[in-house]
A and B are shown apart, each in its own frame.
Chain A
Amino acid sequence: MNTQLIDHLFRHHSGKMVSILVRIFGLKHLDIIEDAVQDTFIKASLSWRNQLPKNPEAWLNTAAKNRVLDIFRKLKTEQKHIPNINQGTDSIAINELFLDTEIEDAQLRMIFTACHPKLDPRDRISFALKTVSGFSTKEIATALLTKEETIKKRLSRARKTIQSSGIQFQIPRGKALTTRLESVMEVLYLIFNEGFHSNRKDTLIRKELCGEALRLVQMLLKKEHTRIPEAYALCALMCFHAARMDSKTNSTNEILDLKQQDRSLWHFPLVELGNSMMYKAVDTAEFSSYHYEAAIAAEHLKARTYEDTNWKKILHWYQCLQTLQPMPSHILTMAVICLQTKDYKLAKGYLSQIKAEDFEQRAYLYYGALADLFTATSNLKKALDNIDLALKIVNNSLEKQYLEKKRTDLVIKMKKA
């Protein structure tokens, strides 16, 4: 007996079914629909225990269709203006909505709904993970390092906004599409970053977030209207980062920086996919921040060893990024790059453009860079002062260890001097 199901079949199918049912019944029945879909999975998990159906996906689709009719009957007894889907043509229409292309269309509509500008930006991510990706509130809370209560509040706020603003379950056209696509890409970018850059040790949930973002961006690329160069660039960026996922942690799950990573663990099919995405992405006169970020990530991948890194090129891409989207963190990164290339004068210039307050709780990064600059220019006393400032505010234990090691090295150096 085959007992192997496709990974995440239930999770992905949940997003599909919610989207199709919302397309049929409308967003105002989202609550009932989500419950109905949940019921289908509970039923499957019990009745499949001893014997898997021959075609699990078809089973789920049929179950979902039957749930449609159940919901319909339930709604009909409660209110009138429901399309009569029991009859011939409408039931054919419903069958058609379960075709693969229609499922994708419904899911895309759901993504665009989740990223509607009327929703609070923080609510968009939670809502998308719930309705499009089939995560539970608990899973979203774990993934976003937030309390489950907070996620519940965000979800209910998003639902209320959708109802009160009468948001349509549609992909906008024309100018509205351009702005909404920006919001969609931003949400996908944030979901990916939550997975990729988070310092949490639980690698499984991190990979799942990245995988989800990658899956959704590829969905954008399948449709003509949403297949834009920025989306290709975003996809390339995700591929390049994801290729390094397994080398980001060591066997005890500690986070490794680029210098320490085992480059033989990089996943080359993803690099290649990223390259082909990038090739399509550059077919435009105007580059987006995703283009530059992807270019930076690609540059890191090109280097066979850390020492081979082409810092000059990376610095150039950061300058482009900074022009397009000025941010203190870009300036700090440029300063760190100059420290790598031993261009201390330029590093100093960059650091003088920013201050600790720009980085709030991550100000230890700023002090750390200053300390490196002072160490490199033999001003050890000032270097030590800055390390101490950094140590005072750092709360991430790995970063703290890293800074403490630096401090010890520095003290030894000072004794020798």
Chain B
Amino acid sequence: MKEFMMIFIGADYTDLGLSPEDLQNRMGKWFAWNDKMTKAGIVSHGDALTPQIRRISGPSRTVTDVTSAEVKEIVGGYYTVKASSFDEVQEIAQDFPDYDLGGTVEIREVMVFDQ
């Protein structure tokens, strides 16, 4: 078994003008997805991230605070899952709830360092 990370990229919910009803329905889909993965025993960890960004970059360590409204896409959260291949994770990622909002799932394999 290998470990993969699914990284969720897209607009922040705050900037999409979703109604309370939308938010509740969307949350229901996230529940269902999480449930399914938990039951299958494949999910090991996951988090949602707040939209606040602090960037430090360059040799002079320049600090900038960025809000989600300033960037079109933002990493909103991630899950790490156990699977045997990219194809298997791709299958899992079919249930990601936010494709209709222009969301993207990026699948990355967690690197293992052999001795």
Contacts and interface: CB of A to CB of B under 8 A. Distances in A.
Contacts of A14: 20
B43 to A, nearest CB: 9
A159 to B, nearest CB: 17
Task: Tell which of B13, B20, B22, B48 has the most Cβ of chain A within 10 Å.
Answer: B20
B96 interface: no
Interface residues of A, number: 27
A364 interface: no
A103 to B, nearest CB: 16
A134 B20 contact: yes
Q: Is the interface of A mostly helix, strand, loop or mixed?
A: helix
A208 to B, nearest CB: 8
A110 to B, nearest CB: 15
B27 A45 contact: yes
A50 interface: yes
Contacts of A1: 35
Given A39-B14, A46-B13, A52 B21 contact: no
Contacts of B35: 1, 3
Interface in A1-42: 1, 3, 5, 8-11, 13-14, 38-39, 41-42
Interface of A: 1, 3, 5, 8-11, 13-14, 38-39, 41-42, 44-50, 52, 134-139
A42 B13 contact: yes
A89 B17 CA distance: 37
Given A136-B19, A139-B21, A48 B14 contact: no
A11 B23 CA distance: 9
Given A8-B21, A10-B21, A134-B20, A48 B27 contact: yes
B26 interface: yes
| Chain B interface residue number, banded | 20 to 34
25 contacts: A1-B35, A3-B32, A5-B24, A5-B27, A5-B28, A8-B21, A10-B20, A10-B21, A11-B20, A11-B24, A13-B20, A14-B20, A41-B24, A42-B14, A45-B24, A45-B26, A45-B27, A48-B31, A49-B30, A49-B34, A134-B21, A135-B21, A136-B18, A136-B20, A137-B17
Contacts of B46: 49-50
A246 B32 CA distance: 28
A13 B20 CA distance: 9
Nearest to B50: A46
Nearest to B19: A136
Given A42-B14, A45-B13, A136-B19, A50 B28 contact: no
A212 to B, nearest CB: 11
Task: Tell which of B17, B21, B30 has the most Cβ of chain A within 10 Å.
Answer: B21
Contacts of A38: 20
Given A42-B14, A45-B13, A50 B19 contact: no
B9 to A, nearest CB: 15
Interface in B3-23: 13-14, 17-23
B48 A47 contact: yes
A49 B48 contact: yes
B21 A11 contact: yes
Interface string B73-97: 0000100000000000000000000
